[in-house]
Amino acid sequence: MKYLCLTLLIAITFFSCRKGTEKQNKEDNPYYNMAFDYREKGMSDSAYLYFTKAKDLFLEKKDSLGAGKCLVNMSMIGIDKGDYFGAQEMSLSALQYFDEQKKEQFAYISSNYNNLGNSSKSISDFERAIKFYNLSIKFSVDSISTLVNHNNKAVVYKEMKDYPSAIKIYDSIIHKTGGNQIEYARILNNRAYTKWLQNPAYHVIPEYLKALHIRELNKNLWGQNASYTHLAEFYGNKNLDSALFYANRRYQVATVIRSPDDQLSALTDLIKFSPATQAKIYFIKHHHLNDSLQTARWNNKNQFALIRYETEKHKADALKAQRENDQKRSRLQIVYFIVFALIMSLLSVYLWFRKRNRLLQQEKELEVKNTELRYVKKIHDRVANKVYHLMSEVENTPGINRNLIVDKLEALYDISRDISYDSPEPTTEGRTAAEISAMLQSYSSASTEVLIVGNEEEIWEGIPEISKTELFLVMQELMTNMKKHSRAQRVVIKFQRNDNCITVLYADNGVGLNNAAKRNGLQNTENRINHIRGTITFESILEEGLEINISFPAN
């Protein structure tokens, strides 16, 4: 009798929960369907295990509703097997996975609160049981579950011996069964039993027999079991034959429905109502069945606890392994980073050395090139121009002194030797106006007239030696270029000094200046004038002559 309401609730909840979820979870969570399959086969341990696995898989997929439904079913199995505290733990855990603001979850929330009510009632925590049944009624979504919860609440009041409250609930719901004969018979029978407990003189038999008749017509064995229980109890102090008859019928039905608790209760009545010889047989059965039931329940509690322990241990081991793997990955990442950094550092060093060597090589090549250019420049300025100057002097000076030529050739030799020794350029050439004029006049010939204007010693007073030497070489380059390229008939060179600035104007009536001549011969003149912080400009009109303006500071 104690488990009649619970069993009915389990059946209702089982079918309502599975109907809406089996299809959608078949592919998403195979453990969920396997748990129901094992439960239908009566393999509660396996069903409990696979509900546990299904819950973990739902949580991995962040499906809170699925996890909550698994815990509700695990709680039902625990109540059915007498693991009331374990069932409470499962139902309380399920609360966090439901959203009481979502109407589509009300059926599962109601079932969960009903589980809490049933488990609380089973451990005689009646006040808490009523609280949970009220919450279950609040979230009920159909009339049947509402009737079941009200009936369970009335049963609690009956256990508390608050018969008026229980009868009041039965009176309020007996006409709300909506033609459901099984529910009507259950409420009718329970109400009559409560009235009889309140008043043993209450004429209860007509209502008992009416409820039993409805149950027999509907082949409701659980209901018949409850009716036989109440009839045996009623006749226990009045008619032992009738009490023994109903106790025997209850034992037969309890055996068919495989309810060990009801079998034990029926055997207790049979022992009480039977003759001594028969009572002894029933006592032995009762003893064996009670031992088996207690052992089975103890094993179930241990088994469920072991499943929870192994599940949590497996999760803890998995988390530990995951942490260890994460640590290994972190260490490997650090090693990879260090190796990568080392490789990049080595590569950077290699590339730096390679670039440095390339730069050094380029610097060496540039140095060689600059050295070559420097020697070429020296040879051009200090040898080639002087050779050409000497050639012009010999050509244009009749009866030139032989010893003078020898002295000048010897000077050219000394200059060539100094170049080979990389000696610094002398700064003695062109120190006087006379030397400059002599050099310029040496380019004069029968076909070329050279006119010099303003080249007086006063102009060169205070002028640095390096400036006079550079100007001397520049003028020598200009005259050599004129002799070789311009075919000029007249050359005019004018020297002026204005304050702290020396100006030299060069003009000829030759063919002018072409780009090749400037690149090959006159480029050095610009470098030399720049060296003494001066400027040189070339103004040439093709086939009409050349004008060159040179200026540099006197100090």
Q: What's the confidence (pLDDT) of residue 542?
A: 56
Phi, psi (degrees; rounded to nearest 5) at 26: -60, -45
Contact 80, 44 (CB under 8 A): yes
DSSP helix/strand/coil, 283: helix
| 429-553: CATH superfamily | Histidine kinase-like ATPase, C-terminal domain (3.30.565.10)
In the predicted model, what is the mean pLDDT of residues 188-215? 93
Lowest mean pLDDT among 281-290, 330-339, 391-400, 505-514: 391-400
> If pLDDT is split at 50, 70 and 90, which confidence band does 277 have?
confident
In this model, does residue 147 exceed pLDDT 50? Answer: yes
d(CA 287, CA 283): 6
pLDDT digits (tens, 9 = 90+) for 406-445: 666 766 656 665 665 555 555 555 568 888 998 898 888 8
Helices 163-173 and 143-159 sit at what angle, rounded to 10 degrees?
160
In 3D, which of 179, 187, 192 has the Cα closest to residue 150? 187
Contacts of 51 (CB under 8 A, 6+ apart): 31, 32, 35, 70, 71, 73, 74, 77
For range 135-145, the mean pLDDT: 89
Fold of 1-160: 1.25.40
CA torsion, ordered 90, 96, 101, 106, to nearest 10 deg: -10
User: What integer is the mean pLDDT of 249-262?
Assistant: 88
The token duo for 343 is: 């490789």
Give me 110's structure tokens: 């109601």
Whether 494 and 451 have beta carbons less than 8 Å apart is answered as no
User: CATH topology of 1-160 equal to that of 429-553?
Assistant: no
Average pLDDT estimate for 110-132: 92
Q: What pLDDT shows up at residue 108?
A: 93
pLDDT at 15: 42
Q: CA of 496: how far to CAs of 146, 435, 459, 491, 538, in Å?
A: 127, 17, 7, 17, 18
User: Is the overall model pTM greater than 0.75, yes or no?
Assistant: no
Residue 316 binned pLDDT confidence (cut-offs 50, 70, 90): low
**What is the rounded CA–CA span in Å between residue 77 and residue 52?**
12
Span 395-402, average pLDDT = 67
For residue 524, what pLDDT band results from cuts at 50, 70 and 90? confident
Amino acid at 224: Q
Q: How many CB atoms lie within 10 A of CB 23?
A: 10
What average pLDDT does the chain have? 82
Smallest CA-to-CA distance from 183 within 17, 3, 2, 4 is with 4
Domain ranges of the chain: 1-160, 429-553
59 exposure class (CB count in 10 Å sphere: 0-12, 13-18, 19+)? middle
Query: Lowest mean pLDDT: which of 355-369, 431-445, 476-490?
Result: 355-369
| pLDDT tens-place string over residues 160-172 | 999 999 999 999 9
Which of the pair, 108 or 522, is modelled with greater confidence?
108
CA–chain centroid gap for 201, Å, is: 77
For residue 516, the model assigns a pLDDT of 45
pLDDT at 338 over 60: yes
